[in-house]
Amino acid sequence: MTSSPWLSVSEALARVLASAPHPLAPENVPLARATGRTLAHDLAARRTQPPFPASAMDGYALQAADIASVPATLKLIGASAAGHGFAGKVGRGETVRIFTGAPVPEGADVVAIQEDTKVEGDLVTVLQSDPVGRNIRRAGLDFAAGDVLLQRGRRLGACELALAGAMNYGSLDVARKPRVALLATGDELVQPGENPGPDQIVASNTFAVRAYAEAAGADVVDLGIAADTFAALENRIRAARDARADILVTLGGASVGDHDLVQTALTREGMELGFWKIALRPGKPLMHGRLGDMRILGLPGNPVSAIVCGVLFLVPLIRALSGDPEAGRDPSEPAILGCDLKANDSRQDYMRANLARSADGLPVATPHARQDSSMLRVLAQSECLVIRAPHAPAAKAGDACRMVRL
């Protein structure tokens, strides 16, 4: 077995991530606009939650000693509601009407739920004995001031935003969103909705790559379609630099054929080429480099190749620039093959596949018979990519495999 002359997928990803050794500079955004953003610093609580002993139920606050023997009749002396606590003190033989979330008044050490009481005027008869502390949330039950509850690099979803709000943060320091410029290339391309000429096709890759980029947390600038001329390409490359893009993603033209001008155009503009061929199917002609502060990721022109490479390389790069400490984490998970597969060649294969469940609940991944990298229909019908390592031997249905969910 001879080693591949091309870069492995893992080494290519390592090099791509190495171009983002640090997250982008932080910025402060209102809490309401922080969804999906990544924390730039650890977050410590600014207050204790709850800040006082609070009732967990609607009922009556009283002293447990008064209901050691029931029924017990107590005098009603006031009420405590959320935002309007009772200012006095509960003594022996007394009780205060209390509502969920309200402060437990001084002197009370238990809340009897209203279902266990009878009320006649200002007299409350408690029918159920409860121990000290029943139905009371102690101060600091959730967290105390100074507790670090959200760590740097945490991606902020609904629950994290609620917690940050409860910690009394109205705004948060988060890593700036990476700016991704997308540039489709090729005389053969027209935009969706236009009328293609006899030798043209409709550009589609941009929309999938944009969706993945935005879902990963990027702001996207669409530079449109550049014709196959150095003047057109260099004009759009400069537009990406003017837009202060952190990543320029080109779609098509990443190879070195007579009509593949992208690499040369970028080199003429000053790009330092990192690599441009990897042992991957689909997606061998993947280009990576740097142009000043702008990272370059040249995706193949075939639709499936472009999308698979976007999932494997662009999304982790965006997450790294966003400060995600797990940007390079292996996204694959175990599954069971649903069909036989032939031995693989020297490239790591990502096969479009459907997912089902076995009788014992394990995911079963069945690759499609057709794997041509131009077939978007097959990709749209797929739920995952089955990974086949270089030189993997033939496999049988029921064998273990690894997959990446789409």
Alpha-carbon distance of 247 to 297, in angstroms, equals 7
Which residue bears the tokens 């924390």?
39
pLDDT tens-place string over residues 278-324: 999 998 889 999 999 999 999 998 999 999 999 999 999 999 999 99
Q: Answer yes or no: are the C-beta atoms of 145 and 48 closer than 8 Å.
A: yes
Residues 6+ apart with CB under 8 A from 75: 93, 94, 95, 122, 123, 124
Residues 21-37: pLDDT tens digits?
999 999 999 999 999 99
258 has pLDDT over 90: no
* 110-113/59-62 β-pairing: antiparallel
Which CATH number applies to 26-49+142-175: 1.50.10.10, 1.10.10.60, 3.40.5.90, 3.90.105.10? 3.90.105.10
Q: Where are the domains of the chain?
A: 9-24+177-321, 26-49+142-175, 54-137, 333-405
User: Per CATH, is 54-137 categorized as 2.170.190.11?
Assistant: yes
pLDDT at 254: 65
Dihedral of alpha carbons 22, 23, 25, 31, sign: negative
According to the model, what pLDDT value does residue 53 have? 98
Fold of 333-405: Beta-clip (2.40.340)
Residue 1: per-residue pLDDT: 40
Q: What is the pLDDT of residues 87-115, one digit of tens each?
A: 999 999 999 999 999 999 999 999 999 99
- Provide the mean pLDDT of the chain: 94
Residue 257 has pLDDT above 60, yes or no: no
pLDDT of residue 30: 98
Q: Which amino acid is at 144?
A: A
208 membership: H or E segment, kind and range: helix 205-216
Alpha-carbon distance 171 to 118, whole Å? 47
Are the CB atoms for 56 and 137 separated by under 8 Å?
yes
User: What confidence tier does 255 reach under pLDDT thresholds 50, 70, 90?
Assistant: low
DSSP string, 140-172: TSSB-TT-EEE-TT-B--HHHHHHHHHTT-SEE
- Could you count the other beta carbons within 10 Å of the beta carbon of residue 279? 20
CA distance 285 to 217: 26
pLDDT confidence of residue 253: 75
Q: What is the pLDDT of residues 34-74, one digit of tens each?
A: 999 999 999 999 999 999 999 999 999 999 999 999 999 99
**pLDDT at residue number 284:** 86
Helix (H, G, I), strand (E, B) or coil at 190: strand
Tell whether the model's pLDDT for residue 180 goes beyond 50: yes
- On whether the CB atoms of residues 121 and 73 are closer than 8 A, the answer is no
Model pTM score: 0.86
Percentage of the chain exceeding pLDDT 90: 92
| Collapsed DSSP state (helix, strand, coil) of residue 216 | helix
| Residues 396 and 349 sit within 8 Å (Cβ to Cβ) | no
pLDDT of residue 95: 98
The pLDDT value recorded for residue 6 is 86
Cα–Cα distance measured from residue 324 to residue 347, given in angstroms and rounded to the nearest whole number: 29
Burial track 302-322 (b if 16+ CB lie within 10 A, e otherwise): bbbbbbbbbbbbbbbbbbbbb
Give dist(CA 180, CA 245) in Å, integer. 6
CA atoms of 146 and 137, how far apart (whole Å): 20
The pLDDT assigned to 2 comes to 42
Q: Give domain 9-24+177-321's CATH number out of 3.40.630.10, 3.40.980.10, 3.30.70.20, 3.40.50.300.
A: 3.40.980.10
Q: Is the pLDDT of residue 256 over 80?
A: no
Instruction: State residue 4's pLDDT score.
Output: 53
Closest to 338 (Cα-Cα) out of 403, 406, 392: 403
